[in-house]
A and B are shown apart, each in its own frame.
Chain A
Amino acid sequence: MIGEIGIIILKNLRRLMYSKVSALIVLLGPLLLMLIIGVAFNSSGLFGIKIGVYADQYTNVSNQIIEGITARDFSVAKMDNLENCVDSVKQGSNHLCMVFGNASKGQKKVQFHVDYSKLNLVYTLLNMLSYELQDQNMQISMGLTQDLLNTLKQTSSTIQENSDIISELKTNAQDMGYKVTNIQENVEGIEMGVDLSSVDTQQAKTDLKQTQTEMKSSRNSMINKINKYESELNSVSDDAQSLSESLQKLKKDSDAIENNLTDVYSRMECSSQESLFDDLNSELISKQLQSSSDPSCDLISSTLALMQDRTSEIDNAIEDLDATNQQIDSAKNDLEDAEDEIDSSYDTLEDRTLLMQANLAKLDETIDTAEQDISDINSKKQSLSSELSSIKTVADEGVESIELVESAMSGVASNIDSLTFADPNAIIKPILSEIKPIMKNKKTIDYLFPSMVILVITFISVLLSSTIVMKEKSSKAYFRNFITPIKDVYFVIGTFLTSLFIVLIECLILFIVAKLFFNVNIFSNIHNIIVVILLAASIFICIGMILGNLFNSEETTTLAAISLSCIFFMFSSMIIPIESMKSLVGSFAKASPFVISESALRQQVIFGTGLRSVSTQVIYLALYLVGLLVLAELTRLVSKKEMTKN
């Protein structure tokens, strides 16, 4: 098998090298390409760049920027007006127009008028000019940063000064929390379990009514009794009146009897003693008289005396009767008073009873109201308790917030205090932004080399393999190859390996020239680079073989190979960045084997990383290779079928 494939490869090489010019192109092509590109891009800067500048009023800042640009060997032309400046870019006399804002109006903007059709140059220029502007921006930033630092320091001291307020605020909030807790406990402690249902006003009402009835009955009874007493008193009074009248009569009679006895006495010479008698109307006199007069007189006298006694007694009796009458009257009056008082008391009592009834009714209402009120109070108590809980929560949260604020303020103060840089430079350039190239003395060729290698691989692989397949197909010897007793796949492998061998030779020439003449660092990582190159070359060789199988004429195949290679080239970042393409196209472009290979090789060549860092790309390339090998075999079978018309 190896012998057969070897002779096929040898045959392919001999055929390719048959023409001296072809051999020369194969060997010298990459050499010349590398030399031309190397010489062209063996620099790290730009030259011949013309920049038009315009400003209404040139300031120190703008002048400094212009000086900086001039120092980069850029040609700077001050333009008369904005239109001329922009037109100069359109006409190509300047590569870029810089317009400084009107300083008198405080405009600090610097506008770049660029021609984006010169895409790569524009970005390079913008980068360079932006770098120049950074110096000016830096100075402005320094002032602003200094202000910022001062403000920060002031803030820190203010925070420290006011930290007691926050502590006090925190204590107050905590107190408030405690108080709220107490209030809540008190509120919850209020016993609202009053059972008003036990208050039986109905019984009171019934008792009151009964009392009222009993009182009415008592009053009537008392009135009746008083009336009875009064009647009896009236009777007694009448009796006493009649008795008095009788006594009056009796007295009159006694007086008459006495008068008669006196006359009899006088008439019996007992009269001399009348006056005396009148005067001595005493027991002593009477006793003298009785002792000094005759018996008749004495009898009379005694009778008289008796009569007088009796009269006196009658008088006394009358007086007593009068007194009794008066007492009776008084008693009657008292009874009447008592009756009045009873009536009055009864009325009063009745009024009070009624009042009490009214009060009881009112009490009922009051109880109902009280029950409602208690219910309301209970719900309000619960609500209040809940609100107090909320207040407590809020208070606690307030405390937490205050603590957070306190902590934050403390942290801010601490952070501000811990800021070690007092120099604005340390902020503007926290990390000293010294750009250290990954590769020392890096030149454009260093960046360009991986892309160039992949480009060369793409064009050579696609063109070469498609040409070999097409030459084989169009060769008369193809028939004889076909009727030899070896497997068709040997020819496929032969073609593939021939192309791969030539591509590798070309790459080797490229590498040697790049190393010897332009000192591009390749060979230190060659074992990893070779893997990527093998994969890339294999993929593009397969693509070329597919094209060779698909088409039937050398011209069409060559055209298709060049077109496809150009498409790969166009949809890479070599002309325009993929990122500037539409997202869908960009996604497809990113998936192109050209871009993947270029990305992998870039990392290998520029950064000298291992295969692990590009494992994803390597896997993608391997998958591409497998798929394309299958496709190449399928197209070969189709091509063969077409040729044998089977």
Chain B
Amino acid sequence: MVVKPLIRFQNVSKRFGNKHILHNISFNVYKSEIFGLIGSSGAGKTTLLRALIGFYKLNGGDIIFKNKSISHKLKEIRKVVGFATQDNCIYDELTAFENIVYYGRLHGLPTKALKTRANYLLHLVELSAAKDEYADNLSGGMKRRLDLACAMVHDPPVLIMDEPTAGLDPLLRKHMWHLIESINRKGTTIIISSHLLEEIEHICTRVAIISKGKLLVVGSPNQLKDMYSRNEEIHLECYPGRYNYIVKWLKSQRLPITYHMNRGHKLVIYTPKAETVLHYTLHLLEQMQERLLDVEVNKPSLNEVFEAFTRNDR
């Protein structure tokens, strides 16, 4: 049985003035999936998402929702789509509860049901305690959750999340992903844009990589990894963490290191021979009297895939 796509992006193009932001982007989003849009800043992710709800008019192509162009059913689209922005589109001068009620009212929800819904959403995003707090007084994570609650106030079957974890600390990010998963479990189709690829690859059913307004590839994370990378990742955390010396020494031993990077307090090494490299590394740490705090060997991440795809495009 062929599953019909819920949303079809067909040769979508958009330009601001003479600047082309989106070039003939075509992909499908299916019901109840979490679809990820991956791209660096300025790639056109937000523009694409905003075009979906009619904030921007397209210069070419079309977006089909349930077999109808959204340009003909914009009001309906806005009724069934929730949009959680990266900017926390809430009023700081209203309380958390008031923000939800306000947007719920704008979506035409009746007052009584709205209050129940608002309380439910506050509970869902774990803001019940801050129900009567002014949004201005909420933390970044709480605001982001409140924004998500506002986006979901009308219980949309499709939820767009534009950089949902941007600016959040790791704990909050983790909490946000859990929240997204729980929302998705209730059948909500979610489209997420993010540049935090290692997070998105764990949650998204499928991802699309966009660079400079062009769609590079679409597929599940594993498909992409298999298609475009045989590297493995070694995540190493040690103290005091003289990572530059470690990498330099490993390279002097002619070990196959494809790529390395510092990510927070960790060193990430991409190599097709993870076992050998790990062996040499542990030996070196012992000699250097570095205290090993954490070590992890992973398959190549979506980051690598993304870099592989975008390298040629840079």
Check if A485 sits within 8 Å of B78, measured CB to CB: yes
Closest to B105 in A: A7
Given A3-B105, A475-B91, A485-B107, 5 more contacts at CB 8 Å?
A: A7-B106, A11-B94, A15-B91, A18-B134, A644-B57
Count how many chain A residues have C-beta atoms less than 8 Å from C-beta atoms of the other chain.
Answer: 24
Decide yes or no whether B301 CB sits under 8 A from chain A. Answer: no
List chain A positions with a Cβ less than 8 A from chain B: 3-4, 7-8, 10-11, 14-15, 18, 475-486, 644-646
List chain B positions with a Cβ less than 8 A from chain A: 16-17, 53-57, 75-76, 78-79, 81, 83, 85, 87-94, 98, 101-103, 105-108, 111, 134, 136, 150-151
- For the complex, what is the distance from the CA of A399 to the CA of B238, rounded to whole Å? 138
Task: Return chain A residues, CB-CB under 8 Å to B75.
Answer: 485
Contact of A484 among B90, B93, B94, B106 (CB under 8 A): B106
Check if B106 sits within 8 Å of A4, measured CB to CB: yes
Task: Return chain B residues, CB-CB under 8 Å to A483.
Answer: 53-55, 78, 81, 83
Task: Return chain B residues, CB-CB under 8 Å to A18.
Answer: 92-93, 134, 136
Rounded to whole Å, the gap between the CB of B193 and the closest CB of chain A is 15
Check if A484 sits within 8 Å of B107, measured CB to CB: yes
Task: Return chain A residues, CB-CB under 8 Å to B108.
Answer: 4, 485-486
Task: Return chain A residues, CB-CB under 8 Å to B90.
Answer: 476-477, 480
Check if A476 sits within 8 Å of B94, measured CB to CB: no
- For the complex, what is the distance from the CA of A479 to the CA of B136, rounded to whole Å? 18
Task: Return chain B residues, CB-CB under 8 Å to A8.
Answer: 106
- For the complex, what is the distance from the CA of A477 to the CA of B151, rounded to whole Å? 11
Check if B87 sits within 8 Å of A476, measured CB to CB: yes
Closest to A13 in B: B93
Q: 22 A-B residue contacts at CB 8 Å?
A: A4-B106, A11-B98, A11-B102, A14-B91, A14-B98, A15-B93, A15-B94, A18-B92, A18-B93, A476-B90, A478-B89, A479-B55, A479-B89, A483-B55, A483-B78, A484-B78, A485-B75, A486-B108, A644-B55, A645-B16, A646-B56, A646-B57
Rounded to whole Å, the gap between the CB of B66 and the closest CB of chain A is 16
- For the complex, what is the distance from the CA of A286 to the CA of B173, rounded to whole Å? 235
- For the complex, what is the distance from the CA of A644 to the CA of B57, rounded to whole Å? 9
Task: Return chain B residues, CB-CB under 8 Å to A14.
Answer: 91, 93-94, 98
Interface-central residue, B56, B76, B94, B136, by most chain A CB under 10 Å: B94
Closest to A16 in B: B93
- For the complex, what is the distance from the CA of A11 to the CA of B88, rounded to whole Å? 17
Rounded to whole Å, the gap between the CB of B8 and the closest CB of chain A is 20
Rounded to whole Å, the gap between the CB of A531 and the closest CB of chain B is 32
Check if B79 sits within 8 Å of A485, measured CB to CB: yes
Task: Return chain A residues, CB-CB under 8 Å to B57.
Answer: 644, 646
Task: Return chain B residues, CB-CB under 8 Å to A480.
Answer: 83, 85, 89-90, 103, 150-151
Rounded to whole Å, the gap between the CB of B275 and the closest CB of chain A is 49
Contact of A7 among B17, B54, B89, B102 (CB under 8 A): B102
- For the complex, what is the distance from the CA of A553 to the CA of B56, rounded to whole Å? 22
- For the complex, what is the distance from the CA of A484 to the CA of B150, rounded to whole Å? 11
- For the complex, what is the distance from the CA of A478 to the CA of B76, rounded to whole Å? 20
Rounded to whole Å, the gap between the CB of B284 and the closest CB of chain A is 49
Interface-central residue, B91, B107, B108, B136, by most chain A CB under 10 Å: B91
Task: Return chain A residues, CB-CB under 8 Å to B107.
Answer: 484-485
A482 in contact with B106 given A11-B91, A18-B134 (CB within 8 Å): no
Check if A476 sits within 8 Å of B103, measured CB to CB: no
Interface-central residue, A11, A481, A483, A645, by most chain B CB under 10 Å: A483
Task: Return chain B residues, CB-CB under 8 Å to A3.
Answer: 105, 111
Task: Return chain B residues, CB-CB under 8 Å to A10.
Answer: 102
Rounded to whole Å, the gap between the CB of A1 and the closest CB of chain B is 10
- For the complex, what is the distance from the CA of A477 to the CA of B91, rounded to whole Å? 6
Task: Return chain A residues, CB-CB under 8 Å to B106.
Answer: 4, 7-8, 481, 484-486
Interface-central residue, A11, A15, A480, by most chain B CB under 10 Å: A480
Check if A645 sits within 8 Å of B94, measured CB to CB: no
- For the complex, what is the distance from the CA of A485 to the CA of B98, rounded to whole Å? 19
